[in-house]
Structure formats: C-alpha cells, structure tokens
Structure 1
Amino acid sequence: MFKKNKIAAVLGSAALVSTVILSGCGEKEVELKTNSDKVSYGIGYNVGSGMRQEGLEEMNVAAIAMGLQDALADKERRLSMEELTAAFNEVRAIQDDKMKALNDENLRLGQEFLKKNGEREGVTVLESGLQYEVLKSGEEGAAQPEVSDMVTTHYHGTLVDGTVFDSSVDRGQPATFPVGGVIKGWIEALQMMKVGDKWKLYVPANLAYGTQSPSPKIPANSALIFEVELLSIKGKES
C-alpha cells in the first residue's frame, strides 16, 4: 500500500541478483542443477519481474553485470558519482512523469464510469460518492455490523474494465476482518448492510486506495467494484 522509490528498489535488489547475472555472463544457458543454482535463478527472476512491473524493463543487463563485476573485484568506478546521480535523477523523473500520467488517466476513467453508473436504475449514490446496488437482501431484522466488529464476507473485486484483482469467491474461502480495517468505501457500506445482504459496491478512488497502490493488480487512482456478501458478524451469529 505504500509507494516505492523505484530506483532505490532496483539498487537494493542489485546485490541479490549478482550471482545470477555473473554466472550467466558469457554463457547462453546456465544449468540449474544445485539448490544454490535454483535459488539464484529464483532471486533473479523475482528481481527482474519487479523491475518489469516498475517499468524498468529497458535497463541494460550487460551494464548491470559490468557494475557488479567491478564492485566485487574492488575496481574503481567507471563513472563519477556526479554522472551516476544525474543519470538516476533523469530516470527517476521519467518514471515519475509516466506514473503521474497513468494515475491521472485512471482517475479520469474511474470518474467517467461512476458518472454513468450512478444514473442506472437500482444504483444508489451516497453523499460520499460511494455507489451500491442491492443484489440480495438478508432477513428483516438481521444483525448489522458496527465499525468495531469482526465480520466474515465473500467478495469479488474487479477494476472498472472487469479485470479481477482479488476474490474470496474464486478462492472458495470467505474472508474475516475488522470493519474498521478496510478501505473507506467498505467501512461505510458494511455498517449499512445486514447479515445475508449481498451488495455490489462501486468505490471511487478516494474511498479505495487513492494515489497509493496495494499491489500491481490495482493501479493507483483506480475506482473499484466489489460484490460483497455479509455472511456473519462475530459475536452476533444469532
């Protein structure tokens, strides 16, 4: 849920990936026989995946290997600190510009979706901007959760384009959590629901994760859609 410094993340990963890069230098294929080989490959793959997710897939692997070799051999740096700082700052600025443009586009798309969705019959728009529609109602008089309660739900979460990012339904395992420990849109909706209700929530970015991203599956400034079924409230099962 916290914004990462992309360049710092790459720097922190460089030492871990050194074994993989160096062992592959000058070879077309590295044999993965021993546990050390396999763990080294796994580390390298994870680091590479992280770089790709952060938009750093264009980094020069051969140059990374050269830097690692020089450092491990205790050779003098081929570039001055001034040159390195300038290069890192430029890459960081480019990445920040790309991320800002993407975030702004996500926000625009979410706002457009919610505007049209709020006009549909059966959709209720709350003052906060949260939207919901009732898919199924529980029994009259069933218990309702308070912000301090623990609840168990089934849910299915998607982006506005239908991409699934999380689903207890798909996992076949309900989720239990404190009402006050989730995103604002859920906190507001859960306290309005009663056990047995199943609602579809349309959550604006500011009531979800806002400018932060909890995972690569949820871009920053995304409006989110959840189907939520309230199964039980701890201590209020009856």
Structure 2
Amino acid sequence: MKQHRLAAAVALVGLVLAGCDAKTSDVELKTPSQKASYGIGLNMGKSLAQEGMDDLDSKAVALGIEDAVGKKDQRLKDEELVEAFTALQKRAEERLAKASEEAASAGKKFLEENGKKQGVVTTASGLQYEVVKKADGPQPKPTDVVTVHYEGKLIDGKVFDSSVERGSPIDLPVSGVIPGWVEGLQLMHVGEKYKLYIPAELAYGAQSPSPQIPANSVLVFDLELLGIKDPAQAQEQAPDSPSAEPAAPAQ
C-alpha cells in the first residue's frame, strides 16, 4: 500500500464526516448526493479496515479536512506525516505477511488431511478433486470456451465468489483461468459437478487477487460444467465476465 493511496483514502473518508463538532446521528441521508457521500465513506471505510487501518481517529481525519478546506496552517510537519504513513504501511505489510504465512501453513495441513478422504483424487500436479455428479457429456479442450456455474470458498468455508449466488453462469476460455481450473475443467464431462481443492501454487500463489483471499490460500470450488461453446459462436458472443467480483478464477 503506497502512501498516496492511504492519504487519498483517508481524505475520502473525511469528506463524508460532518465535521469535528457534528454528530454522525445528525447527518441526513436523503438526497442522491448525501447517499452517494455515505456510500463513498462506507466503501472506503471497508477498504481501510481490510488493510488493517481500523484504528484511524475520525476526529483527526475531520480536523485535517477542516484545516485544508479552511486554508489553515497544517498542524504537523510534512516529515511527521511521512513518518506516520510509513509506520502504517509497515504495519499493513507485516499483517499481510503474517496472513500469508498462516494461510500457507493451514493450506498444507488441509490438503494433507483432505487427500486421505474417500472419493478425493490427487493428481500429479497436486490438484485434488471429488466427483459430485457424473455425466457422459464431451470433455473440453484447452482451446474451448465453456459455460460453468461455480462457488469459490476458502478452507474455512467462507464464500468469496459465486456465480450461483448471482444466478448467472459464466462463459470463459479453458486456457484463460487459474491452473487448477485449467486442469480440472479438462477432467470433467459436460453435465458433471466436481469439487476442486486447489493448492495455492495452482491458484494465485503469493499474489492476493483481493482482500478476501489471503496470499498462499488453498481454494475450494464447487464447479459444474454446463456446456462447451461452439468456437464460432464463442467469438461472436462476448463472454460473461466475473471480473467485477472479488475473486474470479481468471488468471
């Protein structure tokens, strides 16, 4: 997290505060502008909390905004502010590193135990899968575009993405998803449902695609292969994209 990003986030949060002396209970949320302002503060607050910035002083934020808007002399030197931002950045990095280490350890233990369960198959790559529903349809090739329904979870059961919840299956290229999906999809027949247990190195590895997925996380997907698109049809139709969701399986 860069210093300018933190500063911008803090400023946006401050914009929705009523001021040092105002009470948040007195703020009205009636007009589109007021509602949008609240939404900005809500989203930025969630973002800051996810990055470990859950102990910011809202009164101090409001004071900074008030001084800037009122063109008053700033109460802290630039050197002090840089030092403070650096400290927050360091703390956030330490928190992410710890979460990554914990996820890697928990994931390794999970896969070791899960691989012993009846019905779970472990491939040479380390991918684990379980056939939930069998079917005799065709199998996709790396060059195919497929239609699927899926739900992605962490090993603690927390759902981070679900086309099922959205009520809309997605189309995606077999070769354009994370390695665990590339392998898993080619094992499936149209009409089948699999449960995939994907090691971090076959998912996102040390790179976290979203705050909802710690780095080095093992991912669990309930995956249903609904169909294989005709190549010509796939080119004519723009595929649905889950990119707006917190953790699409795309590479």
Q: Do they superpose with TM above 0.5?
A: yes
Q: What is residue 100 of structure 1 aligned with on the other side?
A: 97
- Residue type at the aligned position of 1:102: A
1:40 offset after TM fit, Å?
Answer: 1.7
| Residue 54 (1) aligns with residue 43 (2) | no
The 5 A counterparts of 1:106-125 are 106-125=103-122
Identity of aligned residues (%): 50
* Cα distance, 1:107–1:63 mapped onto 2, change above 3 Å: same
Secondary structure (helix, strand or coil) at the match of 1:170 reads helix
1:17 offset after TM fit, Å?
Answer: 3.5
Any stretches of 5+ residues in structure 1 without a counterpart? none
Any stretches of 5+ residues in structure 2 without a counterpart? 234-251
TM-score, structure 1 normalization: 0.88
- Whether the 8 Å CA contact 2:20–2:63 is kept in 1: the answer is no
CA distance in 2, matches of 1:31, 1:71: 24
From 58, 78, 92, the equivalent of 1:81 is 78
| Residue 168 (1) aligns with residue 151 (2) | no
The 5 A counterparts of 1:144-223 are 144-223=139-218
- Residue type at the aligned position of 1:162: G
User: What do you get for the CA RMSD once the two structures are aligned?
Assistant: 2.0
1:199 offset after TM fit, Å?
Answer: 1.4
* Cα distance, 1:99–1:108 mapped onto 2, change above 3 Å: same
TM-score, structure 2 normalization: 0.84
Q: What is residue 8 of structure 2 aligned with on the other side?
A: 12
- Whether the 8 Å CA contact 1:6–1:54 is kept in 2: the answer is no
* Cα distance, 1:150–1:95 mapped onto 2, change above 3 Å: same
CA distance in 2, matches of 1:49, 1:150: 35
Measured against aligned partners, the alpha-carbon deviations of 1:61-91 in whole angstroms (never above 9, x if no partner) come to 1111111122222223222222211221112
* Cα distance, 1:24–1:30 mapped onto 2, change above 3 Å: farther
Secondary structure (helix, strand or coil) at the match of 2:147 reads strand
| Residue 45 (1) aligns with residue 42 (2) | yes
CA distance in 1, matches of 2:15, 2:88: 25
Secondary structure (helix, strand or coil) at the match of 2:189 reads coil
Q: Which contiguous aligned blocks of 4+ residues in structure 1 show a shift greater than 6 angstroms?
A: none
| Residue 134 (1) aligns with residue 141 (2) | no
1:7 offset after TM fit, Å?
Answer: 4.3
1:105 offset after TM fit, Å?
Answer: 0.4
From 28, 31, 35, the equivalent of 1:34 is 31
1:6 offset after TM fit, Å?
Answer: 5.9
CA distance in 1, matches of 2:12, 2:92: 23
Secondary structure (helix, strand or coil) at the match of 2:187 reads coil
CA distance in 1, matches of 2:181, 2:95: 30
